[in-house]
Structure 1
Amino acid sequence: MNFESNEEQRLLTDSVRRFIDKDYDFEKRRKIIASPEGWDSNAWAALAEMGVTALALPAEYDGFDGGAVDLMGIMEAFGAGLVVEPFLPTVLAGRLVMAAGSEAQRRAILPRVASGELRLAFAHLERGARFDLSRVGAEAKRTGDAWTISGEKRAVVGAPVAGKLVVSARTPSGLGLFLIDTQDAELKRHATVDGMRVADVLLFNAKAELLGDGAATLAKIEEVNDFGTALVCAEAVGAMKYACDTTLDYLKTRKQFGVTIGSFQALQHRMVDMYIASELSRSMTCLACSKVDATGDAKERAHAVSAAKIKISDSARLISQEAVQLHGGMGMTEELKVSHTFRRLTVIAEQFGDEDYHLTRFGAL
């Protein structure tokens, strides 16, 4: 299997990396996460102008027909730069609109997402559900042609800056997906340890627009969740590479007993272990992304995605902790980017299912 990017993928990824290096450096990011909004509209507009927000959407809705493999390089760049803009939540919710919505709904929503005008978030997980996608307690009621939803969704990434939410709820037909204007929900906003903005979404007879419901809804949610898991693995790969590279640079410059600490064989061995874990993680992520794009077999897709997430969770822990330890006490300071990379990798290890969850799922498959 060829894991090399094609020319178009490389060109777009290089453009995103140049933008991050020039206009989204670490000091700029620190100001963004310290702001009340927690994101930068100018950065979002720049990403939209480059075509990033349209990449994963179909061409008939002003997109570029991209899949997980096409997004891998973008997510790696986001991981290295610790980008906090709500790209992944928008992509996942947009894919659900595509999968479950009517043609009229797709025409109304997706071109606005492609242009960067509209940001979305997927509100699904609830209190006590852990990572069980089938556990949904929110209820949707129908009165004539109108729907309302009551319930609570927890820690919805990107919700504070989204214009619309895709929300899951129980219907008489089973499980359904709905569109809700964010202003019709009560949001309890939070900043996470890794600098992201999330919200608990409280719904009290909130007006909703049905995208679709029935027996196939859970399968659509699982497919989109696997898509997101593969992409967050790619983000982790970018963060791991940064952690490895910046730690190696530190070992080459930090001196102790009159020599650089990188000359100590014990530290060289630890550095090699970090790079090996990083490269293994990238290979597993490439396989997961290719399976998400290529296979119609849900079990085969889930098998590859869980295998990648298991490796990513293990490597994220190893690399982030080693990077901090090899930097010494300064590795935990706010002023050093590696400490923020440590936090993001720690969160990614839990996001879309922790290692125990994916080990269980992998074994069951």
Structure 2
Amino acid sequence: MTFLEHLTPSDETGMIRESAEKWTGGISDSDVRASKGFSSTRWADMAEMGWHGLLADPDHGGLGLGPAALSLLCQAIGRARLPEPFVASSVVCVGTLTSIGQDVTALVDGSTIAAPAGFGLPCDGVSSTITASAGAGGHHLTGTLGICEAGPDTTEFLVATKRAEALYRLPRTTEGLTVRPYGAIDGRPLARLAFDCVVPAEALITSGNAARAAIRRGNALAVSALTADATGTIEKAIDLTTAYIDERNQFGQPLAAFQALRHMVADRLVELEAARSMTDLAAFAAEDAGDAGDPKQLHDRVRARICRAAQTVGQTAIQLHGGMGMTDEMAIGHYFRRLIFLQAMMGQEAGALRDRAATLAADIEMQREVVQ
């Protein structure tokens, strides 16, 4: 598929966009706040609409679609500021497991919620610290992870070991696995994981090159989904800010009457268009991630540009709302916090650029060795 073909919406993706916008448009900000990080009703609705199985094979109840359609859903999720672990479970875990032929039926119907550990989220270039050693009693997993998008409803973990050597699928109830919950800045549940457990051999679902390809697939899908989520959040933040300066009066006229403020909003609309372009590029690059290639170099640049747009728009939105923009009563403050969280999950602009520089340095060193 060429990039132009990728940008040309099909009838199927058009219907997905329409249904996603209609459903998320009916969810109020007060509903999101009241759910405190997760709504079983919304999760069940997503399952009924086929969202959890978007990337899954039809044999497992999925739709068999790709990152282009996924991007539309994640943008709608960002606009509605939904806190459910859709990216963690239905994107990274379903996409990774599907790529190696694992059964994802329970994930597709929503009865199981999975979380990636050591890969995927956050997609900041930091590798897993989990080690695994095989013995007579099974496989011994040790190590800790400081961040995992797991909440009380998470039922299993997809665990990548150091250097992406192996991938394990573990139930939350695994003896020796400690889950310490805490909250993210945008209200969603996170957890610290500590592994000191012996698991049966069948918990190892793939290793070697197959594991590395599956993990590359999961990482690429995570970047594509997060950039789409950020783009939807940026769009909503601009909408809220535009409406606010239209309504708020100062010196006897709306704030929107001041040319300097209109120029600020116009500049942020340019950032939105840049974010949309990066989202399309990230989804296109993720199409063939895995065995066919690794889009990391491109995705590092995408992460950097999206983080810049998120920071610029978020700061401007709060500036134009004034101090009241950070209060709980104002929706914009919650969208600002979500943008902060999404930047952290993508490694911030500086982190993404460091990853890009490290890759370039390694390429130069490799070419130098070949010449010598």
Cα contact 2:53–2:94 (8 A) shared by 1 = no
Deviates more, 1:189-198 or 1:157-166: 157-166
Shift of 1:132: 4.0
One-letter code aligned to 2:261: L
Unaligned runs of 5+ in 2: 361-372
Report SS of the residue matched to 1:63.
Answer: coil
Cα contact 2:132–2:141 (8 A) shared by 1 = yes
Alignment of 1:277-292 (within 5 A): 277-292=271-286
Shift of 1:14: 2.4
One-letter code aligned to 1:81: A
Cα contact 2:182–2:191 (8 A) shared by 1 = yes
Shift of 1:360: 2.9
Shift of 1:231: 1.0
Q: Distance in 1 between matches of 2:20 and 2:293?
A: 32
TM-score for both structures, normalised by structure 1: 0.88
Q: Distance in 1 between matches of 2:124 and 2:250?
A: 46
Cα distance change on mapping 1:118 and 1:26 into 2, 3 Å: same
- Of residues 143, 153, 159 in structure 2, which corresponds to 1:167? 159
Structural RMSD (CA): 2.2
Match status 1:298 vs 2:279: no
TM-superposition CA deviations, 1:331-365 (whole Å, max 9, x none): 11101111011011111112132222321333434
Q: Distance in 2 between matches of 1:130 and 1:358?
A: 9
Cα contact 1:133–1:222 (8 A) shared by 2 = no
Cα distance change on mapping 1:16 and 1:67 into 2, 3 Å: same
Shift of 1:170: 5.1
Match status 1:20 vs 2:24: yes
Cα contact 1:76–1:235 (8 A) shared by 2 = yes
TM-superposition CA deviations, 1:191-223 (whole Å, max 9, x none): 111111111112222425001112453343233
One-letter code aligned to 1:298: G
Match status 1:180 vs 2:174: no
Q: Distance in 2 between matches of 1:137 and 1:311?
A: 28
One-letter code aligned to 2:99: A
Match status 1:111 vs 2:105: yes
Shift of 1:319: 0.3
Report SS of the residue matched to 2:52.
Answer: helix
Cα distance change on mapping 1:336 and 1:4 into 2, 3 Å: farther
One-letter code aligned to 1:229: V
Shift of 1:145: 7.0
Alignment of 1:56-95 (within 5 A): 56-90=55-89, 91-95=91-95
Aligned pairs, number: 347
One-letter code aligned to 2:155: G
Q: Distance in 2 between matches of 1:307 and 1:137?
A: 25
One-letter code aligned to 2:63: F
2:228 maps to: 234
Cα contact 1:160–1:187 (8 A) shared by 2 = no
Cα contact 2:123–2:223 (8 A) shared by 1 = no
Q: Distance in 1 between matches of 2:356 and 2:11?
A: 34
1:152 maps to: 144
2:15 maps to: 11
TM-superposition CA deviations, 1:219-272 (whole Å, max 9, x none): 432332122011100000000110111111111111111111101010011000
Report SS of the residue matched to 1:11.
Answer: helix
Q: Distance in 1 between matches of 2:301 and 2:129?
A: 29
2:115 maps to: 121
TM-score for both structures, normalised by structure 2: 0.87
1:351 maps to: 345
Unaligned runs of 5+ in 1: none
- Same amino acid, percent of matched pairs: 25
